[in-house]
């Protein structure tokens, strides 16, 4: 009898131990891993969205939230199967991204992180919902250029938010924020971020007037009726302004002996900008071949993320847990 009773107690203790372990607040390491997955997902879905555009699959699913009238999933013969697969696959990735955002939000709430971190996690999840609605609008409006631009630009904001979240999670909540840059260096990081927003806006205008409408059946209907070459020059000018302000920031960080992690981030950002510049020049002289578009979009996310990293380095709660 006693052996049976002891076995029962041991079993009960094991269940309780597992329940306590399951309810243990997630570690900072786990929170950062989840935040990194969210950041990669935010950037990745912009790449799959560009694949939708350059393959002409934007109306592979011609309605929203259903794929086709009366069907949540692709329908044989409703559109070319490859177009349906690419567009529907992009929509499925949005569900995966939502799951990542929920996981991050639950993790930081359970860990009782400070309000700034919880707000950033909540904004990421809310932003994905808003993006789903904007994506549906672009489909229902037959991919008019401005709806596609409205779909892309919030994605860059969400990449920025996810990058900030990744950085802030590493901080100690009860530490006092410390300024790590000089005032002028901090100002230039903000000026550079504003310049980057102009680069992104003018980039959507170049795309809106260019050859890739997003669907093979749409053609140039609903495109931006401005000269693409002229818009490309404006976009390039904005890019050079952004590069200049970033280089000034790097100089100031070097002059002021800024922390090494911040300075390394600035150097990586400059490297990413040079890669993006090379892709853009290639697009200009080759007439925007399809294969260059996903590369350009991917590097946009990289540049935005490292711009956000650099901004976050300027003011942190130390010591950080990395």
Q: Residue 194: its pLDDT value, please?
A: 95
Distance from C-alpha of 129 to C-alpha of 27, rounded to nearest angstrom: 27
Residue 6 sits at φ, ψ, to 5 deg, of -65, -40
| Neighbouring C-alpha atoms within 13 Å toward the C-beta of 209 | 15
170-221: pLDDT as tens digits: 998 988 888 998 999 999 999 999 999 999 999 888 877 765 544 444 444 5
Distance from C-alpha of 182 to C-alpha of 184, rounded to nearest angstrom: 5
123-134: pLDDT as tens digits: 999 999 888 888
Confidence of residue 267 (pLDDT cuts 50, 70, 90): very high
User: For residue 232, is pLDDT > 60?
Assistant: yes
How would you class 93 by CB atoms within 10 Å of its CB: exposed for 0-12, middle for 13-18, buried for 19 or more? middle
Query: Cβ–Cβ contacts within 10 Å for residue 182, how many?
Result: 16
User: Per-residue DSSP letters for 94-160?
Assistant: HHHHHHHHHHHHHHHHHTT--HHHHHHHHHHHHHHHHHHHHHHHHHHTTT-HHHHHHHHHHHHHHHH
**Mean of per-residue pLDDT scores for the chain:** 84
279-300: pLDDT as tens digits: 999 988 887 787 888 899 999 9
Least confident of 70-79, 112-121, 199-208: 70-79
Query: Cβ–Cβ contacts within 10 Å for residue 58, how many?
Result: 27
Tokens of 76: 């044989």
Higher-scoring residue by pLDDT: 225, 124 = 124
Q: Residue 13: its pLDDT value, please?
A: 62
User: For residue 7, is pLDDT > 50?
Assistant: yes
Query: Percentage of the chain with pLDDT > 70?
Result: 84
Q: Residue 18: its pLDDT value, please?
A: 61
User: For residue 308, is pLDDT > 90?
Assistant: yes
Tell me the domain boundaries of the chain.
27-317
Query: Cβ–Cβ contacts within 10 Å for residue 10, how many?
Result: 10
pLDDT (mean) for 33-58:
87
User: For residue 260, is pLDDT > 60?
Assistant: yes
């Amino acid at each position: 009898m006693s052996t049976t009773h002891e076995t029962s107690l041991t079993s009960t203790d094991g269940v309780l131990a597992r329940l306590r372990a399951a309810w243990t607040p997630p570690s900072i390491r786990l929170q950062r891993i989840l935040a990194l997955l969210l950041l990669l997902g935010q950037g990745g879905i912009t790449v799959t969205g560009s694949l939708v555009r350059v393959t002409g699959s934007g109306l592979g699913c011609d309605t929203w939230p259903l794929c086709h009238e009366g069907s949540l999933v692709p329908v044989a013969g409703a559109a070319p199967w490859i177009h349906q697969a690419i567009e529907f696959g992009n929509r499925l990735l949005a569900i995966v991204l939502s799951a990542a955002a929920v996981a991050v939000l639950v993790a930081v709430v359970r860990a009782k992180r400070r309000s700034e971190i919880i707000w950033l996690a909540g904004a990421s999840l809310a932003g994905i919902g808003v993006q789903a609605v904007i994506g549906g609008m672009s489909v229902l409006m037959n991919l008019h250029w401005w709806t596609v631009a409205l779909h892309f630009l919030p994605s860059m904001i969400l990449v920025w938010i996810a990058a900030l979240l990744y950085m802030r999670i590493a901080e100690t909540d009860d530490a006092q924020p410390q300024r790590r840059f000089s005032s002028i260096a901090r100002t230039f990081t903000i000026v550079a971020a504003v310049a980057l927003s102009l680069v992104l806006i003018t980039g959507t205008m170049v795309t809106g007037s260019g050859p890739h409408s997003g669907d093979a059946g749409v053609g140039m209907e609903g495109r931006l009726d401005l000269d693409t070459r002229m818009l490309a020059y404006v976009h390039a000018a904005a890019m050079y302004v952004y590069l200049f302000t970033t280089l000034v920031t790097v100089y100031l960080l070097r002059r002021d002996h800024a922390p090494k992690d911040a300075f390394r981030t600035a150097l990586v950002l400059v490297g990413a900008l040079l890669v993006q510049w090379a892709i853009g020049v290639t697009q200009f002289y080759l007439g925007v071949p399809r294969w260059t578009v996903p590369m350009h979009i991917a590097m946009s996310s990289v540049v935005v993320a490292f711009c956000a990293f650099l901004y976050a380095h300027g003011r942190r709660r130390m010591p950080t847990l990395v």
